[in-house]
Chains A and B, each alone.
Chain A
Amino acid sequence: MPQKPHKAKEPLFHIAKRDAIVWWKAWGIRIAAILIALVFSGVVSYLLTGENPLRIYAKMLEGAFGTQRRVWGLLQNLAMLLCVSVAVTPAFKMRFWNIGAEGQVLVGGLASAACMILLGDKLPNAVLLIVILAASILAGAVWAVIPAVFRAKWMTNETLFTLMMNYIAIQLVSFFVYKWSVPKGSGQVGVINRATHAGWLPVIGRYDYLLNILIVAAITFIMYVYLKYSKQGYEIAVVGESENTARYIGIPVQKVIIRTMLISGAICGIAGMLLVSGTDHTISRDTAAGRGFTAIMVSWLAKFNPIFMVLTSFLIAFLEKGATEISTAFGLNESFSDIITGIIIFFIIGCEFFIQYTVKFREKEAAK
C-alpha cells in the first residue's frame, strides 16, 4: 500500500516572472495605477475636507496651471527635481545606491553661496559665475566620490554611507548659515548680494526661471545621450547588469564606479548652484528640500531613462503644487501634498509587480 503523502499542498496561486510585456500594456498598467491612486487620493481628500472630489481635482489643476506665474513655478520645480533625478541616474544604472543626493546638492549650494558671499565684491560677475560653477561641481563631486572610493576599494555599504553624508552636509550648511547669518545670530542668511546681484544667474528676458529650466533641459538631454550613446554610458550599463561580464570584457570596474559617482555628484553640485545662485539667492539647510530623496523615486519610476524622467518629475511636481493648492484652499496643512505624493508613489511602486510578474491561479486539475 502506498503511503498517502501528507496533503499535497498546492498553493492557491503562484507567481512567475513574466517573459516580456508589450510596451503599451506596461504603460496601460502604470497609467491605470496612477488613475486608481488619484481616485484614492480624491477619496482621502474628500474624507478630510468633505468637499466634492471633482472640485478637489479642479483645485489641483488650478494650483498647478491656474496662472502664468504658477505654471512657471511648476516648471521651475519640475526642472530642479529633474536635475537631481538625472544626477542620481548614472549611479543607479550602475546599481550603486546613491541616496546621498540631498547632501551633494547641499554642498554644491553651499559652495555657490560661499563664492557669492566671499568673492561677491572681488570678481567681475562673469568670472564669478564661472568660479561658482566650478566650486559647486567640485563640492558635489567630492561629496559623492568619498563613498564611491570606499565602496570600490573596501565594499563599504554605499547606501548607508551616502545616507550619513547627507546629514553631515546639512550640519555643515547649518554651521555656515549661522556664521553668515544676517543679522548676526538670526540663523538666516537672507538674500545674498541683494543690491549688486553678484553671483546671481542672469535672467533671460522677464522669465526668472527660464535659464534654470534651459540648463536642466540641456543636462537632461546630455545625460540621455551619454547613457545611451557614449562608451562610458555603455560601460555603466554593463557594470550595473553584471560585474562579471564587465571584468570578462576588460572594463575596469572600480574606475567606472568612481568616475560615475564623480559625474553624479557633479550634476548634484550644479543643481545646488541652480538653487542658490539661480533661484533662492540664499542658503539654508532646507535648500535641497528633500529633492535628493524624491529624485530617487523619480529616477526609479522612470526606469532610469532621463526622458521619461521629465514625465515622472512632472507628475511629482504637479502633485506637490496641486496638493499645496488644495491645502490652502480648504484650510489644510501644506504637508497634505506629501501624503498625496506618498500614496501615488505607493501605487506606482506596487503596479510594477504586475508588469514584471504574472499571478497564475491553481488549475483545477492539479498534476499528480
Chain B
Amino acid sequence: MSKAVKQKDAVPAIRLQNITKRFGSVVANDNVSLSVQHGQILSILGENGSGKTTLMNMIAGIYYPDHGQIFVDGKEVVIRSPKDAFQYGIGMIHQHFKLVDVFSATENIVLGLDEKEGFSLKRSAKRIMQISLQYGFDLDPDKKIYEMSVSEKQTVEILKVLYRGADILILDEPTAVLTPQETEKLFAVLRRMRDSGKAIIIITHKLHEVLSLSDQVAVLCKGRYIGTVNTAETNESELTEMMVGKKVSLNIARSEPKDPVDRLVVEGITCRNREGAEMLHDVSFTARSGEILGIAGIAGSGQRELLEAIAGLQHVDGRILYHNPKTGQTDDLRDKTPLQIRELGVRLSFVPEDRLGMGLVGNMDIVDNIMLRSYRKGKGMFLERKNPKSLAEKIIHDLEVVTPSANTPVRRLSGGNVQKVLVGREIAASPTVLMAAYPVRGLDINASFTIYNLLNQQKENGVAVIFVGEDLDVLLELCDRIMVISSGKIAGTVDARTATKEEIGLMMTKNSADHDRAQEGGAEHAAETA
C-alpha cells in the first residue's frame, strides 16, 4: 500500500459522534457514533425503520442532525445541503433514482454541473469511460435511461457521484433492486473502489451481503446504535441477534383459531414487474378461516405484488383459488378484475400499503370514502348516502376517529385516523378474506392496538386474515402462522407461538438457496446464487 493511503488510515474518512435526530416525538437516531476509514467498506445493518437511511441522509445533507458532530478527515464539518456534502467529497446513491428518462447516461451525469472547461458531452463521455474503466463498470455513456435496466440506472447514479469526485460513497440498499448476478458485479466494483482508497458505506439488511462485502458492520436497532463489529470476527446469528434486538412483550391478546378451513389457496404464482424482473417466484400458500396469517419479510420482497395479485390488480401466472363458504364453490381469481371478483361473490377486503394513494381518496370526505366499497349497491343511477353516512358515524364512534365531522376530507386527518377509516371500511364489508399491508405503520401505540383488536375480532368471526407486517414482535404475538417471504420466494412458514425472532430474522435475510450454499461452506460468494 502506498504511503498516502496509510497516512489517511490514521484519521477516519468520516466520523459521526453522538448524532441524534428526532421527527416530532419519534427519535429516528439516538446518540449514534460511527466511523469509516479510507479504503474500507462499512455496512450499516438494521431492520426497516431502524434509522439507517435517516442517519445517512444527515451525512448527505438532506437532514440536519439535532445533536452531535460530523467529522470529515478529522475536521468537524457542517453539512446543510447535498451541495455541501459534495464539497466534502460525500456522495449518496439513493434508493429511488433521480434520473431524467429521455436523457443519455452522460447527460444525466453532467446535469447541474458547471464545469470550468466548458460544456462538451463528448469530453464528458470520455471521462465517464475512463472512470468506468478504472472501476470496472460496464456502461454505454450514450445509452438513454429509459432503455436501461435497473442495474444500469444504478451504475449511472454511482458514476454521477464519482464524476463529481466523491471520496466517500453512501449506497442506500443498492442490492434491493438487483439480480444476484448484478449484485455480484456491483460488489466487484465496490471492492475495486475500496482498494483505490475510497470510503464506502452501504445500507443493507441482507446478512450474506454484509458478510461477503464489508470490512466492518455497524448495527442499528429501532434508532439506537447497537455496536460495530469486524466482519471477519462475526457470524450470521450474532448479527441477527444484534439486529432484531431483545424480544419485547406487547401483550396482544391471541385466541386459538376455531375450526379453521382452507379459504384461499394460492398455487405457484409468479409475477414480473414492468422492467421484466421477477417479483414473485412460484409462491404457494394457504390462508385459513379464523386465523391470522402473518407475512414477514424485508420491504420490497414481493409482499405488495402478492396482495395486489390476490386483489385483482396484478397480472400473475399460477392459480388463486377461493373456496366460497356460502356456495361451497371454488373459483380461480387469477387475472380477474376487482369488479369480476366481487361479482363472483368473493368478499375480499384489502387494506393497501398506500392509504391515501390507493385505499382512500384524500380530497373526499369520510362518507364518500366509506362509500367506495358500497356505492354500486342499490338499484338506479343515484347514490345512496344514508347508509354510508350512518356507517361513517359508526366507524367514527366505534374506532374513536378524531375528526371534526363525517364530512371532513380524509386528507386532513392524522395518519392513525386515516387508517381507522380505511380499516373500518374494509371490515364493514364483512369480508371472508381480509388482507392488510402494514396497517400500523406510522401509528401510535393506542391506534395500533385498536387495529390489532379489529383484526382479532375478524379472526374470531371466522375471517381469513392476511397481515403483512414489519415489526417481528407484533407478528409473533398477533399471528397464528408466519410466512416468511424473501426476494419474491417463500422462505418458509413457522408457527408464531413457538418461533423466535432470530429464526424469522435469518429466514428473511437469506433465501432458501443461500441455505444450501451456506451448508456447503461457500458463504463468501453466497450472493451469486439465484
The CA-CA distance from A238 to B520 in the complex, in Å, is: 55
Query: A118-142: contact bitstring with B at CB < 8 Å (1 yes, 0 no)?
Result: 0000000000000000000000000
Query: B356-397: contact bitstring with A at CB < 8 Å (1 yes, 0 no)?
Result: 011111111000100111011000011101000000000000
B339 beta carbon closer than 8 Å to chain A: yes
Contacts of A242 in B (CB 8 A): 357-358, 361-362
Query: In the complex, are the beta carbons of B381 and A238 less than 8 A apart?
Result: no
Contacts of B338 in A (CB 8 A): 247-250
The CA-CA distance from A234 to B373 in the complex, in Å, is: 12
Contacts of B133 in A (CB 8 A): none
The CA-CA distance from A20 to B471 in the complex, in Å, is: 35
Pick from B350, B375, B409: contact of A234, CB under 8 Å? B375
Query: In the complex, are the beta carbons of A231 and B382 less than 8 A apart?
Result: yes
Q: Given A229-B382, A230-B383, A237-B364, answer yes or no on A245-B77 (Cβ-Cβ < 8 Å).
A: no
Chain A's closest residue to B80 (CB) is A5
A6 beta carbon closer than 8 Å to chain B: yes
B156 beta carbon closer than 8 Å to chain A: no
B68 to chain A, nearest CB (A): 12
Query: In the complex, are the beta carbons of B361 and A232 less than 8 A apart?
Result: no
A252 beta carbon closer than 8 Å to chain B: yes
A90 to chain B, nearest CB (A): 14
A196 beta carbon closer than 8 Å to chain B: no
Contacts of A241 in B (CB 8 A): 361-364
The CA-CA distance from A8 to B311 in the complex, in Å, is: 49
A108 to chain B, nearest CB (A): 24
The CA-CA distance from A11 to B84 in the complex, in Å, is: 17
Contacts of B381 in A (CB 8 A): 230-232
Query: In the complex, are the beta carbons of B382 and A247 less than 8 A apart?
Result: no
Contacts of B76 in A (CB 8 A): 1-3
Chain B's closest residue to A237 (CB) is B364
Of B339, B361, B362, most buried by chain A (CB within 10 Å of CB) is B361
The count of residues in chain B whose C-beta lies closer than 8 Å to any C-beta of chain A is: 39
Contacts of B342 in A (CB 8 A): 250
B465 to chain A, nearest CB (A): 19
Q: Given A20-B412, A231-B375, answer yes or no on A245-B360 (Cβ-Cβ < 8 Å).
A: yes
Pick from A5, A230, A249: contact of B84, CB under 8 Å? A5
A222 to chain B, nearest CB (A): 12
Q: Given A3-B77, A19-B412, answer yes or no on A245-B383 (Cβ-Cβ < 8 Å).
A: no
B354 beta carbon closer than 8 Å to chain A: yes
B75 beta carbon closer than 8 Å to chain A: yes
For window 37-73 of B, CB contacts with A under 8 Å fall at 69
The CA-CA distance from A8 to B83 in the complex, in Å, is: 12
The CA-CA distance from A237 to B364 in the complex, in Å, is: 9
For window 1-30 of A, CB contacts with B under 8 Å fall at 1-6, 8, 19-20
Chain B's closest residue to A3 (CB) is B77
Contacts of B178 in A (CB 8 A): none
The CA-CA distance from A249 to B360 in the complex, in Å, is: 10
Query: In the complex, are the beta carbons of B358 and A248 less than 8 A apart?
Result: yes
For window 303-317 of B, CB contacts with A under 8 Å fall at 311-313
The CA-CA distance from A241 to B341 in the complex, in Å, is: 24
Q: Given A245-B372, A249-B373, answer yes or no on A5-B412 (Cβ-Cβ < 8 Å).
A: no
B176 beta carbon closer than 8 Å to chain A: no
B91 beta carbon closer than 8 Å to chain A: no
Contacts of B311 in A (CB 8 A): 248
The CA-CA distance from A279 to B265 in the complex, in Å, is: 66
A227 to chain B, nearest CB (A): 11
Pick from B352, B364, B368, B383: contact of A248, CB under 8 Å? B352
Of A4, A19, A233, A248, most buried by chain B (CB within 10 Å of CB) is A248
A358 beta carbon closer than 8 Å to chain B: no
Pick from B79, B84, B354, B383: contact of A231, CB under 8 Å? B383
A244 beta carbon closer than 8 Å to chain B: yes
Chain A's closest residue to B338 (CB) is A250
The CA-CA distance from A16 to B10 in the complex, in Å, is: 47
Query: In the complex, are the beta carbons of B78 and A3 less than 8 A apart?
Result: yes
The CA-CA distance from A4 to B75 in the complex, in Å, is: 11
A261 to chain B, nearest CB (A): 18
Q: Given A245-B359, A250-B339, answer yes or no on A6-B84 (Cβ-Cβ < 8 Å).
A: yes
Pick from B357, B371, B375: contact of A245, CB under 8 Å? B357
Query: In the complex, are the beta carbons of A245 and B337 less than 8 A apart?
Result: no
Chain B's closest residue to A2 (CB) is B76
Chain A's closest residue to B342 (CB) is A250
Contacts of A249 in B (CB 8 A): 338, 372-373
A55 to chain B, nearest CB (A): 46
B323 to chain A, nearest CB (A): 22
Contacts of B383 in A (CB 8 A): 229-231, 233-234
Query: B319-361: contact bitstring with A at CB < 8 Å (1 yes, 0 no)?
Result: 0000000000000000001110110000000101010011111
The CA-CA distance from A343 to B527 in the complex, in Å, is: 65
Chain A's closest residue to B71 (CB) is A2
Pick from B79, B313, B354, B363: contact of A247, CB under 8 Å? B313
The CA-CA distance from A249 to B372 in the complex, in Å, is: 7
The CA-CA distance from A236 to B357 in the complex, in Å, is: 16
Pick from B337, B363, B371, B412: contact of A250, CB under 8 Å? B337
The CA-CA distance from A232 to B382 in the complex, in Å, is: 8
Contacts of B337 in A (CB 8 A): 250, 252
Q: Given A245-B357, A248-B359, answer yes or no on A234-B80 (Cβ-Cβ < 8 Å).
A: no
Query: In the complex, are the beta carbons of B78 and A5 less than 8 A apart?
Result: yes
Chain A's closest residue to B354 (CB) is A244
Contacts of A8 in B (CB 8 A): 80
For window 206-258 of A, CB contacts with B under 8 Å fall at 229-234, 237-238, 241-242, 244-245, 247-250, 252
Query: A247-291: contact bitstring with B at CB < 8 Å (1 yes, 0 no)?
Result: 111101000000000000000000000000000000000000000
What are 18 of the A-B contact pairs (CB < 8 Å)? A1-B75, A2-B77, A5-B79, A5-B84, A229-B385, A230-B383, A231-B383, A234-B383, A241-B361, A242-B362, A245-B357, A245-B359, A247-B338, A248-B338, A248-B350, A248-B358, A249-B373, A250-B337
Q: Which A residues fall within an 8 A CB radius of B?
A: 1-6, 8, 19-20, 229-234, 237-238, 241-242, 244-245, 247-250, 252
Given A5-B84, A231-B375, 15 further pairs, Cβ under 8 A: A2-B69, A2-B76, A3-B77, A19-B412, A20-B409, A234-B375, A238-B361, A242-B357, A245-B358, A245-B359, A248-B313, A248-B358, A250-B312, A250-B337, A252-B337
Q: Which B residues fall within an 8 A CB radius of A?
A: 69, 75-80, 84, 311-313, 337-339, 341-342, 350, 352, 354, 357-364, 368, 371-373, 375-376, 381-383, 385, 409, 412
**Can you list the 10 inter-chain pairs with the closest CB atoms, starting with the nearest?**
A250-B338, A250-B339, A5-B78, A2-B76, A241-B361, A248-B358, A244-B358, A249-B372, A230-B381, A229-B382
